[in-house]
Chains A and B, each alone.
Chain A
Amino acid sequence: MELLKILSETNGVSGDEGYIAEIISDIAKKYCSEVFLDNMDNLYCLKKGTSESKKTIMLCAHTDEVGIIISSITDEGFLKFRTVGGIDESILLAKRVLIGKNKVLGVTGIKPVHLCSEDDMKKKPSAEEMYIDIGVDTKEEALKLVSVGDYGTFDTDFEQLGALLKGKAFDDRLGCYIMLKLMEKDFYHDIWYCFNVQEEIGLRGASVSSRRIKADYGVVLECTTCLDMPQVKESEISTRVRKGPALTIVDGYGYTDKDLREILASCGKHQYKNVPRGGNDAGALKLNNIKVAAVSIPARYIHSPLSVVSGEDVKNCILMLENFLDKEDL
């Protein structure tokens, strides 16, 4: 899991995926015949199949993660910020963040509970009210360390959590990890491994890459919502950790391809995502004439400073994909 640790701890908020793409590209060059970036920083890696009568399959994961962007700096040297991607702002409070290329450490703050009015206490804290403290006293001092437009990520270590794994940006560095592990092997079909950018702000990278690559099938490798907690109704759980990778039937961007979904289901342990919300790059691929399915690792606390997943689900996902990519009768 050393590779997953590197991928998880690397920073790459939507729009700033250059560095993570570089790490992935260096690995991909060992296995793929063609590796290139487009102007958005989508990374395309082609690995030819072992057969002549093969299909072309596009596997996708996205390199970007949710985070923050610095919007202004106060005279007192505090940083104001906006979120990038879908984040519940109330969970941002009192977190360690790393700002900009130099990873300047900051902490998110708001007024203390003692100084809150009754009305303050009733509402959820918003990013608007928060600031980032980087330990300086003036705007001039702050400007020596950071700039408006710098991205910020959560400072979260990757580590084992009992039988599970904890880390940041599993959505979707886990998808990237699975693709890099698959890349090490030879398969029957031609495979385009596409590492897309800007998924979290509207599937922007995949909208471009899926127009460029002409594929018979697309499989999007993702992380998804998981609410397998006590006192949650069965119909709201979405997915459960350790029950296998989750196949999407329908989400906010529409239906996945039924036939492809059934083929994948026949390839290994799986569960179905039972909440039809959210969405992922499959929504972009399907509009560009690619039959598409989405396979996701259940991740507790997704789109927050940390997520929790099961390594067992990751292994089962790799197994499912290995079986699928070697299927001669697609």
Chain B
Amino acid sequence: MLDILCQLPCPCGSEDTVKKYIGTKVKGETDALGNLIVNKSDDIMFFCNIDEDAFTVMSIDGNKAYVCHKGNQSVPLGSLISFGGYTGVLQAENPEKPTENLYVEMLKEGFETVGASGTVCAEYTTEDEIIFTKDAADKIALSAMLECAITEDKGCFVFGVQSKIGNKGAVAASRALKPDFVVAFEKTTAKTLTYKMATKGFIISEQAKEKIESICQNNGIEIKPEADTKIESTANAFECPNVVVVGIPVRFSNQIRQAADTKYVEIVKNLIKAFLEEGK
């Protein structure tokens, strides 16, 4: 499942491909923003982001598709960008300002879809237990959450969209579902699994801190607290009293592709099952 998820394109704002795949495995509902929600019981909400950096076509002039980049990863000029059946090369009108006036020079003629969103064609590779892929931590969380959504008979699983433009999916889901306990997953640059004690605009509640610590201790899951109030996280997007944000270790965190250990799929699954077992 992880292999498949790592190869499906999922640009921010146009996440249908991955949602369709999830839909073949488990029945869910889509909210107005586009979050896919599998709600078996509303005691704990589990959340991961499914979207990748997007290049959205704002206008087309000949074979140049002018695009805006939504996301926070550095994408070098010359990268291949795919819009479904059409592919092109990322260019800038002024190469000295590589983030401004971006356009994709299409390889073939006939592309006319203003509003289309594409992603970087970055090959997915594996080496032993290590995956090297776009948004590696999100893919691990997605894979683990999807497996749990299929096998478990409780929990509310939210596969969130539009994270690359300010965690819109997390805000919308927490407003609509009004959970009082959220467990969300994102990346960390630490070497082990972490939970976020404090990030920009967020301090963990005492109840949430005690819960994650006791669950990990009781289930032999190694986890460490992490605190950096200068770092943005998904945490403060949730309008909810108890939020646990679990960090999944990745290397090369700001590059197009990151490396992550697939053992975390099992670890995250065990964590979710333990939460479901013990309740909030």
Q: List 12 A-B contacts (CB under 8 A).
A: A233-B101, A234-B66, A235-B66, A235-B101, A249-B56, A250-B58, A254-B165, A258-B115, A272-B114, A275-B58, A276-B68, A288-B176
Interface size on A (CB < 8 Å)?
25
CA A235 to CA B12, docked complex, whole Å: 21
CB pair B58–A286 under 8 Å, yes or no, is no
Chain A residue numbers with a CB within 8 Å of B103 are: 235
Q: Which of A236, A258, A276, A292 contacts B101 (CB 8 A)?
A: A236
CB pair B33–A287 under 8 Å, yes or no, is yes
Write the chain B residue with the least CB distance to A257.
Answer: B32
- A272-315 residues with Cβ-Cβ distance < 8 A to B are 272-276, 286-292
Decide: A250 near B59, CB < 8 A? Known: A258-B115, A288-B175, A289-B175.
no
CB pair B172–A249 under 8 Å, yes or no, is no
- A240-268 residues with Cβ-Cβ distance < 8 A to B are 249-250, 253-255, 257-258, 261
B222 at the interface (CB under 8 A from A): no
CA A249 to CA B176, docked complex, whole Å: 24
Interface residues of A (CB under 8 A from B): 211, 233-236, 249-250, 253-255, 257-258, 261, 272-276, 286-292
B13 at the interface (CB under 8 A from A): yes
Chain B residue numbers with a CB within 8 Å of A258 are: 13-14, 115
B112 at the interface (CB under 8 A from A): no
Decide: A272 near B93, CB < 8 A? Known: A286-B168, A286-B172.
no
Write the chain A residue with the least CB distance to B166.
Answer: A254
CB pair A250–B56 under 8 Å, yes or no, is yes
Besides the contacts A235-B101, A276-B68, what 12 more A-B pairs have beta carbons closer than 8 Å?
Answer: A235-B93, A249-B56, A249-B114, A254-B162, A255-B12, A255-B165, A276-B56, A276-B58, A287-B33, A289-B176, A291-B32, A292-B32
Q: Which of A211, A253, A274 contacts B66 (CB 8 A)?
A: A274
Write the chain B residue with the least CB distance to A276.
Answer: B68
CB pair B66–A287 under 8 Å, yes or no, is no
CB pair A254–B58 under 8 Å, yes or no, is no
CB pair A249–B58 under 8 Å, yes or no, is yes
State the Cβ distance, B94 to closest chain A Cβ, in Å.
10
CA A291 to CA B176, docked complex, whole Å: 13
State the Cβ distance, A271 to closest chain B Cβ, in Å.
10
Interface residues of B (CB under 8 A from A): 12-14, 31-33, 56, 58-59, 61, 66, 68, 70, 93, 101, 103, 114-115, 162, 165-166, 168, 171-172, 175-176
CB pair B61–A272 under 8 Å, yes or no, is no
CA A118 to CA B93, docked complex, whole Å: 34
CA A287 to CA B175, docked complex, whole Å: 8
Chain A residue numbers with a CB within 8 Å of B175 are: 211, 287-289
Identify which of A211, A236, A275, A286 gathers the most chain B CB atoms within 10 Å of its CB: A286
Q: Which of A255, A272, A292 contacts B59 (CB 8 A)?
A: A272
Chain A residue numbers with a CB within 8 Å of B61 are: 234
State the Cβ distance, A42 to closest chain B Cβ, in Å.
18
CA A249 to CA B33, docked complex, whole Å: 14
CA A273 to CA B12, docked complex, whole Å: 18
State the Cβ distance, B246 to closest chain A Cβ, in Å.
24
State the Cβ distance, B234 to closest chain A Cβ, in Å.
14
Chain B residue numbers with a CB within 8 Å of A235 are: 58-59, 66, 93, 101, 103
Chain B residue numbers with a CB within 8 Å of A286 are: 32-33, 168, 172
Identify which of A233, A254, A288, A292 gathers the most chain B CB atoms within 10 Å of its CB: A254
Write the chain B residue with the least CB distance to A247.
Answer: B115
Write the chain A residue with the least CB distance to B11.
Answer: A255
CA A17 to CA B205, docked complex, whole Å: 39
CB pair A255–B162 under 8 Å, yes or no, is yes
Chain A residue numbers with a CB within 8 Å of B168 are: 254, 286-287
State the Cβ distance, B100 to closest chain A Cβ, in Å.
9
Write the chain B residue with the least CB distance to A262.
Answer: B115
CA A211 to CA B61, docked complex, whole Å: 40
CB pair B58–A272 under 8 Å, yes or no, is yes
Chain A residue numbers with a CB within 8 Å of B101 are: 233, 235-236
Query: Which 9 pairs across A and B sit closest by C-beta, in order of nearness?
Result: A255-B13, A274-B58, A276-B68, A274-B59, A235-B66, A254-B165, A289-B32, A291-B32, A249-B115
Q: Which of A236, A255, A257, A289 contacts B172 (CB 8 A)?
A: A289
Write the chain B residue with the least CB distance to A272.
Answer: B114
CA A257 to CA B166, docked complex, whole Å: 16
CB pair B59–A234 under 8 Å, yes or no, is yes
Chain A residue numbers with a CB within 8 Å of B162 are: 254-255
State the Cβ distance, B9 to closest chain A Cβ, in Å.
16
Chain B residue numbers with a CB within 8 Å of A292 are: 32
CA A286 to CA B33, docked complex, whole Å: 6
CA A254 to CA B54, docked complex, whole Å: 11
Chain A residue numbers with a CB within 8 Å of B32 are: 257, 286, 289-292
Chain A residue numbers with a CB within 8 Å of B56 are: 249-250, 255, 276
State the Cβ distance, A107 to closest chain B Cβ, in Å.
38
State the Cβ distance, A3 to closest chain B Cβ, in Å.
33
CA A254 to CA B14, docked complex, whole Å: 12
Write the chain B residue with the least CB distance to A218.
Answer: B32
CB pair A254–B59 under 8 Å, yes or no, is no
State the Cβ distance, A254 to closest chain B Cβ, in Å.
4
CA A308 to CA B28, docked complex, whole Å: 48
Chain B residue numbers with a CB within 8 Å of A272 are: 58-59, 114-115
State the Cβ distance, A244 to closest chain B Cβ, in Å.
14
CA A236 to CA B101, docked complex, whole Å: 8
CA A292 to CA B32, docked complex, whole Å: 8
State the Cβ distance, B238 to closest chain A Cβ, in Å.
12
State the Cβ distance, B45 to closest chain A Cβ, in Å.
15
